[in-house]
Structure 1
Amino acid sequence: MYMVSNTITVLEGYGDDILERFKIRQGIEDMPGFVALKVMKRLEIKGHEEVLVHTIWEDKAAFENWFASREFHVAHRKPAMTPDGQKMVTGNSIDHYEIIVESDATKAVGYVG
């Protein structure tokens, strides 16, 4: 499995606006190899806000196909703007990971020791 983590830096007071944009589905769920999307808001941060987006894919090629897709470009074509014309997003950092161990409550079988 393959995960891409995007940490988005947002002007203070506009994090919820960015989170609302993620509630409008733009086709990622229909992409071959898509596994999961998790969108989170960082708590207890001063001076700005952060939204963390994790996408999980079957493999790197599935992510690259999404990144090159028309759906990706349509979803990212229009930046979020404040009422006075500032971009809400002031920066971002993207990291790529290979998932080595995965567990959740549906897969829990007990302690092995």
Structure 2
Amino acid sequence: MYTVSNRFIVKKGMGHKMAPAFISEKELLDFEGFQKVEVSVCTQNGEHDEMNVMMYWTSLENFQTWRASDSFKKLHSREVKSNGESPIISNQVIIAEIVATLAH
């Protein structure tokens, strides 16, 4: 299993407003190997919000198939704007293999 984490720094107050957009693409549910997506928002910093979009995939190949798809391109062509400009200050994508799990 793999996780793909997109870690965003966004303008203060925008984390909760942007989060629903990352679970709106229902076509994602049809892609082989897709498990789930979770969005978390941290508002502890006084100057910006931190948002983490964590996707879970059965294999790296399954994720790469989605990333090369028209569905991915359509989803990522949408512009999110606040007062005429992007609320995203920066982002970093991290792909990692899950190598140990403890669950209840």
Q: Taking structure 2 as the reference length, what is the TM-score of the superposition?
A: 0.90
Q: Using the TM superposition, give the Cα deviation of residue 45 of structure 1 relative to its aligned residue in structure 2, in angstroms.
A: 1.6
Q: How does 1:39-58 map to 2 (within 5 A)?
A: 39-58=39-58
Q: Equivalent residue for 1:108?
A: none
Q: Which has the larger radius of gyration?
A: 1
Q: Equivalent residue for 1:96?
A: 95
Alpha carbons 1:26, 1:71 under 8 Å: kept: no
CA RMSD of aligned residues (A): 1.3
Q: Equivalent residue for 2:68?
A: 68
- Partners of 1:46 and 1:3 in 2: CA distance: 28
- Aligned to 1:49, the other structure's residue is in SS state strand
Alpha carbons 2:10, 2:50 under 8 Å: kept: yes
1:13 matched to 2:18: no
Q: Using the TM superposition, give the Cα deviation of residue 103 of structure 1 relative to its aligned residue in structure 2, in angstroms.
A: 3.1
Alpha carbons 2:80, 2:86 under 8 Å: kept: yes
Is the helix fraction higher in 1 or 2? 2
Alpha carbons 1:39, 1:52 under 8 Å: kept: yes
User: Counterpart amino acid of 2:44?
Assistant: E
- Partners of 1:68 and 1:60 in 2: CA distance: 12
Q: Using the TM superposition, give the Cα deviation of residue 34 of structure 1 relative to its aligned residue in structure 2, in angstroms.
A: 0.6
Alpha carbons 2:22, 2:53 under 8 Å: kept: no
Alpha carbons 2:34, 2:57 under 8 Å: kept: yes
- Partners of 1:102 and 1:61 in 2: CA distance: 21
- Partners of 2:30 and 2:41 in 1: CA distance: 24
- Partners of 2:13 and 2:35 in 1: CA distance: 31
Q: Using the TM superposition, give the Cα deviation of residue 42 of structure 1 relative to its aligned residue in structure 2, in angstroms.
A: 1.5
- Partners of 2:16 and 2:75 in 1: CA distance: 18
Residue ranges of structure 2 left out of the alignment (5+ in a row): none
Residue ranges of structure 1 left out of the alignment (5+ in a row): 106-113
Q: Taking structure 1 as the reference length, what is the TM-score of the superposition?
A: 0.84
Q: Equivalent residue for 1:31?
A: 31
User: Counterpart amino acid of 1:100?
Assistant: V
